[in-house]
Amino acid sequence: MHAPPKKRRILLIEDMVPLAKLYIEFLRNEPLDVVHVARGRDALASAESRPPDAVILDLKLPDMDGLDVLRALQDRDPGVSVVIVTAHGSIDLAVEAMRLGAFDFIVKPFNADRLNLTLRNALERRALTRIVEGYRKDLDRDRFHGFIGGSDEMQAVYRTIESVATSRANVFITGESGTGKEVAAHAIHRASPRRDRAFIALNCAAIPKDLLESEIFGHVKGAFTGATADRPGAAMLAHGGTLFLDEICEMPVDLQSKLLRFVQTGAVTPVGSGQEARVDVRIVAATNRDPLAEVQAGRFREDLYYRLHVIPLALPPLRDRGEDVVEIARALLADYVREEGKSFTAFAPEVEARLRGYDWPGNVRQLQNVLRNMVVLHDGAWVTADMLPARMAAPPAVPCAPSASTGPASAGGVLPDGDAVVPLWQVEKEMIRRALRLTGDDVPRAALMLEISPSTIYRKLQQWRSTEETAV
Ligand SMILES: Nc1ncnc2c1ncn2[C@@H]1O[C@H](COP(=O)(O)OP(=O)(O)OP(=O)(O)O)[C@@H](O)[C@H]1O
Ligand SMILES: [Mg+2]
């Protein structure tokens, strides 16, 4: 005995009730569950609560443009099969709908056979797309919401993003500078049911400390000098969507306690106001520091850390992603060649080997910079090794002694002149100190000058601080 086949759900969107009744009559003998609505808005609500397998859509609706309804249905479920019903005079519109991805259209008046046949085909396509989607889910991907790379390390990242996207749980992203933390935050939002609502990003390191509270929670007119009108903050603007707090470890500790309250209760109190509002946001936080070390050093509140660190997402450094570096480089080369009007078509094998061998302290951002410079400065059909920056040259077979005029020994400070050699850590320390001095202690900018990640500098500073403390 076979179980009766599961009824397929059809959403019929038709504002003329007699016509809708006629279509339902046409489909009477099919194993279908037909839901009829007369308005666009009702159609979207119905699709949300009872997702249809196929849709019959009359483009002329009283409350919404039929093409907008089509777009919204496809945004919800890109695999849905939509059959357009159109009058003779509006075939252009139906063709436009097909261009937007509708499955087919039928011209009024039509008979039961025509409707049945079209619908059967639409349902068959739906079933096929489900099978393909199923396969695709299991397959490894080399692209995912703005990420390029098919390495095992990135497959794990994609899977985490996909599995957390549907929940409201807060996500804490860590990773060296340039590993794609912002890309990941966007991906979480886009893969989530919140994707049609706002994604609001706030960089805690880029906003002056005394303005940060108002940026997050908003302010009322007169709250401080310059507050000439009420202004909603990021938390309010992100209502229903995602709030991305970038460089979260840079947030001053007193503001961290206000943020903690918000994370616990969803209550927002604008600066200068006594009134609370409640919002529904999903928080994604990111840092290129080691958050636990920040907690231990007393710079980051432990209770806030645990509230935000519900789902950890660690982005691997580019040097640990195997072939991804070449894959990303090829995609970037194609983009830059197009943008700069150059004619490169590929990398010479030696260049690919050097891309693989280099350790990419600035990760994908550094790869972007290297390739952009190269494309701007050179031309040809192949990218050859001589076009790469000197620091990516293969290491020389015999280490060179620093020369008096060009080597680090002439750089001054603790570094001696001439042929004298000092321990490498001393050179490193001097260079980091110098970069910090030149940038006014701006760690991210110093990191850029040194072509290392800011977290490396933070780590070194901490290391030196603790060795100096123990030395005293
Ligand atoms: N896997 C990837 N594929 C393609 N592009 C990427 C990938 N990862 C990052 N990028 C690109 O590299 C650049 C840096 O990424 P992003 O800004 O997300 O890094 P980040 O981790 O936030 O860095 P920082 O800590 O310095 O803020 C962006 O232009 C981003 O689009
Ligand atoms: Mg970032």
Bridge partner residues of 433 (DSSP): none
- Tell me how many helices (H) and strands (E) the chain has: 18, 16
pLDDT for the residue numbered 206? 87
Query: Where does residue 405 rank: exposed (0-12), middle (13-18), buried (19+ CB within 10 A)?
Result: exposed
Quick check: CB of 328 below 6 Å from ligand 1? yes
Q: Which helix (H) or strand (E) holds 328?
A: helix 324-340
Q: Are strands 8-13 and 54-58 parallel, antiparallel or unpaired?
A: parallel
Q: pTM of the predicted model, to two decimals?
A: 0.62
Instruction: Measure 309 CA to ligand 2 centroid, in angstroms.
Output: 17
Cα–Cα dist 113/29, whole Å: 12
pLDDT for the residue numbered 226? 85
3-state secondary structure of 282: strand
Q: Which residue has tokens 């076009």?
A: 387
Q: Which residue type, as a one-letter code, is found at position 322?
A: G
- Of ligand 1's listed atoms, the one at least distance from the Cα of 148 is 3
Instruction: Measure 443 CA to ligand 1 centroid, in angstroms.
Output: 18
pLDDT in tens, the chain (472 residues): 455 557 899 999 999 999 999 999 999 988 899 999 999 999 999 999 999 999 999 999 999 999 999 999 988 888 889 999 988 778 888 888 888 888 888 998 899 999 999 999 899 888 877 776 666 665 667 889 999 999 999 999 998 998 888 888 899 999 999 999 999 999 999 999 899 999 999 999 888 888 999 999 999 999 888 889 999 999 999 999 999 999 999 999 999 999 999 999 999 999 999 899 999 999 999 999 999 999 999 999 999 999 999 889 999 999 999 999 999 999 999 999 999 999 999 999 999 999 999 999 999 999 999 999 999 999 999 999 999 988 887 654 433 333 333 334 334 456 666 677 777 888 888 889 888 888 777 777 788 888 887 778 877 887 787 776 555 4
Helix axes 253-265, 209-217, angle to 10 degrees: 10
- Dump the DSSP string for 368-388: HHHHHHHHHH--SSEE-GGGS
Quick check: CB of 364 below 6 Å from ligand 1? yes
Cα–Cα dist 347/333, whole Å: 9
- Of ligand 1's listed atoms, the one at least distance from the Cα of 324 is 1
Quick check: CB of 361 below 6 Å from ligand 1? no
Instruction: Measure 23 CA to ligand 2 centroid, in angstroms.
Output: 54
Among residues 114, 29, 127, the alpha carbon closest in space to that of 81 is found at 127
- Dump the DSSP string for 234-257: HHHHTTTSEEEEETGGGS-HHHHH
CB 408 within 8 A of CB 432: no
Q: List the residue whose alpha carbon is closest to atom 5 of ligand 1.
A: 147
Q: List the residue whose alpha carbon is closest to atom 16 of ligand 1.
A: 180
Which residues fall inside 5 Å of ion ligand 2, going by CB? 181-182
Cα–Cα dist 387/374, whole Å: 6
pLDDT for the residue numbered 153? 94
Instruction: Measure 363 CA to ligand 1 centroid, in angstroms.
Output: 8
The set of residues, in sequence order, having a beta carbon less than 8 Å from that of 433 and lying 6+ positions away, is: 413
pLDDT for the residue numbered 23? 95
Cα–Cα dist 88/106, whole Å: 10
Q: Ligand nearest 444 Cα, by number?
A: 1
Looking at residue 396, the DSSP 8-state letter turns out to be: P
- Of ligand 1's listed atoms, the one at least distance from the Cα of 444 is 26
Quick check: CB of 11 below 6 Å from ligand 1? no
Helix axes 66-76, 40-49, angle to 10 degrees: 10
pLDDT for the residue numbered 468? 66
Q: Among 141, 161, 179, which residue has the most ligand 1 atoms within 8 Å of its CB, making it the best to mutate?
A: 179
Cα–Cα dist 198/240, whole Å: 7
Task: Locate the DSSP E strands across 315-365.
Answer: 346-347
Instruction: Measure 187 CA to ligand 1 centroid, in angstroms.
Output: 12
Cα–Cα dist 365/358, whole Å: 14
Q: List the residue whose alpha carbon is closest to atom 2 of ligand 1.
A: 147
pLDDT for the residue numbered 405? 37
3-state secondary structure of 202: strand
Question: What does each C-alpha distance from 214 to 219, 221, 222, 259 come to in angstroms?
Answer: 6, 12, 12, 12
Q: List the residue whose alpha carbon is closest to atom 9 of ligand 1.
A: 180
Instruction: Measure 359 CA to ligand 2 centroid, in angstroms.
Output: 20
